[in-house]
């Protein structure tokens, strides 16, 4: 993400929230930082520090014992004791808008008020009626959108890759190609960096006032809202997430995030420092230059916003590499950015693969700052490439293994729903997914049974269908990885409570899966699965 050169940094932390109950006066503590924050060296702690905190609230009971694990970002710890006040607190936070809208769009228990009909109940077999395994393998719904942009965006123009090569982006519902997209490599990254450097050194963008830049960001947000349905449909088609989640939560949040950054553009002020000598000491914040940005496939639009928004607000220029699995929505919204008045060369978008385009961007000598979101293993490579080139500063947002703790005085029904949403939202493809659920032994059996019942009611199917909570996983590689972890859980002695298999023979659908009797030493308790697999552990 772009940032001021004088140690002003924009970053974002993982979602985390604690919920405390009767013995604590029913207070709700929360930090929902799904949007980027500006912090200065004088701040007591930055967002990166917050992402590494583990918060446990307990008063009457002794602290639960569990083994913690080392991760680049120790994501989210949730203590569930009593949850009536969660909605009131959530309403105060921008990110909670995303969470609450997504939950309303994806949860059958909330579907009556949102969609005007009763929720879809599970059948006796545990497979939801109307969206059974057979439905999942039916002819998929034709998406209500066309793919118009498949080239690279360099210096304000859509162009072919220098090599002329393309690669298919696949429909997760079928595994079949949606379109063939230009495959950027080293030469294309270099072309994009040259355009970004020219736009920064000689173009108007960094010389504009913050207010002038904010006007363009505000116009872009207006265009996002105007094209909401088109953008959401493209995101669903390319990613597999439920259309209602994309249209009602993520695209509106994209617009809201851009307005948030637009508001910051003219509020980044300098500092006058008292001097011991007869001198005038002043700190000014300037844009850092060309920002290289690499985003993942699980939230393409929101990752676009979190990377591009703060960098542009501060006056930087950008070379953005999309995930090879989901290149389409970033190309569409980047076109809208230019319609909003963004000068040529300020935002350049390269579609391609990590070992070629990603590595070229990370190691480029003329990139001044790098931001990467993805796996921990790839993050290590990115950091090394940046260090070996020009020691460019790097912002990393990597993997996580977030725990949820359910105490014995919790409202079990609400705790089950919160834990279910925290894990299964977005097909479990969240770096802050609550994938380890620690439950007090006194309520363990009840929690497991009610979690099973909730999972069996989860509506899985074509993400364009109304009422669907869970679509397919992103691609065959991730699909196979999840099934491998499920097999590992069974082999290591955990109890497979429900799920554990694919749905149908076409596409990348996986049954909502729950394991009980999970132990800390098991892979499913230690490693990030990134799929619809809930591990329930017992503590005293």
Of 92, 88, 29, nearest to 56 by C-alpha is 29
> In angstroms, rounded to a whole number, what is the distance separating the alpha carbons of residues 406 and 375?
28
pLDDT band at 74 (very low <50, low <70, confident <90, very high): very low
The per-residue pLDDT for 111 is 36
Q: In this structure, are residues 468 and 173 in contact, taking their beta carbons and an 8 Å threshold?
A: no
Domain coordinates of the chain in residue numbers?
9-58+73-113+124-137+400-472, 152-397
The per-residue pLDDT for 104 is 58
* CATH 3.40.50.300 given to domain 152-397: no
In the chain, what is the greatest distance between 2 CA atoms, to the nearest angstrom?
83
Q: Is the pLDDT of residue 470 over 60?
A: yes
Greater pLDDT, 82 or 519: 519
Average pLDDT, the chain: 82
Greater pLDDT, 402 or 40: 402
List, in sequence order, every beta strand (DSSP E) within 35-92: 37-39, 78-80
Q: Is the pLDDT of residue 416 over 60?
A: yes
| Lowest pLDDT segment from 121-135, 161-175, 305-319, 498-512 | 121-135
Q: Is the pLDDT of residue 47 over 60?
A: no
Q: Is the pLDDT of residue 497 over 80?
A: yes
pLDDT band at 140 (very low <50, low <70, confident <90, very high): confident
Greater pLDDT, 203 or 5: 203
> In angstroms, rounded to a whole number, what is the distance separating the alpha carbons of residues 110 and 421?
12
Q: Is the pLDDT of residue 13 over 80?
A: no
Pure H helices in 227-375: 228-239, 243-245, 251-264, 300-313, 328-339, 359-363
Active centre residues (catalytic): 397
Over residues 1-8, mean pLDDT = 35
N- to C-terminal Cα separation, the chain: 43
* pTM of the entire predicted model: 0.79
φ, ψ at 210 (rounded to 5°): -60, -35
Q: Is the pLDDT of residue 44 over 70?
A: no
């Amino acid at each position: 993400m772009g940032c001021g050169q004088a140690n002003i940094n924009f970053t974002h932390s993982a979602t985390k929230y604690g919920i405390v109950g009767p013995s604590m006066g029913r207070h709700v503590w929360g930090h929902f930082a799904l949007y980027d924050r500006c912090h200065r060296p004088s701040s007591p702690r930055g967002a990166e520090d917050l992402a590494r905190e583990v918060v446990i609230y307990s008063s009457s009971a002794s602290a639960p014992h569990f083994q913690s694990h080392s991760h680049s970002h120790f994501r989210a710890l949730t203590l569930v004791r009593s949850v009536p006040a969660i909605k009131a607190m959530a309403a105060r936070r921008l990110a909670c808008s995303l969470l609450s809208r997504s939950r309303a769009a994806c949860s059958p228990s909330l579907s009556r008020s949102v969609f005007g009909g009763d929720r879809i109940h599970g059948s006796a077999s545990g497979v939801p009626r109307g969206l059974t395994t057979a439905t999942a393998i039916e002819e998929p719904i034709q998406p209500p959108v066309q793919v118009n942009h498949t080239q690279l965006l360099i210096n304000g123009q859509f162009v072919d890759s220098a090599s002329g090569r393309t690669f298919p982006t696949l429909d997760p519902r079928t595994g079949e190609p949606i379109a063939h997209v230009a495959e950027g490599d080293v030469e294309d990254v270099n072309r994009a960096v040259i355009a970004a450097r020219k736009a920064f050194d000689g173009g108007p963008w960094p010389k504009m006032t913050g207010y002038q830049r904010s006007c363009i960001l505000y116009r872009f947000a207006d265009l996002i809202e105007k094209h909401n349905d088109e953008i959401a449909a493209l995101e669903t088609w390319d990613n597999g997430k439920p259309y209602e989640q994309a249209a009602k939560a993520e695209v509106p949040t994209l617009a809201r995030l851009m307005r948030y950054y637009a508001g910051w553009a003219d509020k980044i002020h300098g500092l006058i420092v008292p001097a011991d000598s007869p001198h005038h000491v002043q700190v000014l914040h300037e844009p850092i230059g060309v920002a290289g940005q690499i985003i993942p496939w699980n939230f393409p639009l929101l990752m676009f916003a979190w990377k591009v928004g703060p960098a542009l607000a501060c006056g930087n220029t950008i070379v953005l590499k999309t995930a090879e699995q989901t290149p389409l929505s970033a190309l569409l919204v980047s076109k809208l950015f230019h319609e909003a008045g963004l000068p040529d060369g300020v935002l350049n978008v390269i579609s391609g693969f990590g070992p070629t385009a990603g590595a070229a961007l990370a190691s480029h000598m003329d990139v001044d700052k790098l931001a990467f979101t993805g796996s921990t293993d790839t993050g290590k490579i990115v950091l090394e490439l940046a260090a070996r080139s020009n020691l460019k500063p790097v912002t990393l947002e990597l993997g996580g293994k977030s725990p949820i703790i359910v105490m014995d005085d919790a409202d079990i029904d609400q705790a089950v729903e919160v834990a279910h949403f925290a894990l299964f939202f977005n097909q479990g493809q969240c770096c802050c997914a609550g994938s380890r659920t620690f439950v007090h032994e006194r309520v363990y059996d009840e929690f497991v049974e009610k979690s099973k019942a909730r999972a069996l009611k989860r509506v899985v199917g074509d993400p364009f269908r109304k009422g669907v909570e869970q679509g397919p996983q992103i691609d065959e590689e991730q699909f196979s990885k999840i099934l491998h972890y499920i097999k590992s859980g069974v082999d290591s002695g955990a109890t497979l409570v429900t799920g554990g298999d694919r749905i149908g023979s076409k596409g990348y659908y996986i049954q909502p899966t729950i394991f009980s009797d999970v132990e800390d030493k098991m892979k499913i308790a230690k490693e990030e699965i990134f799929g619809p697999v809930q591990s329930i552990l017992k503590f005293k």
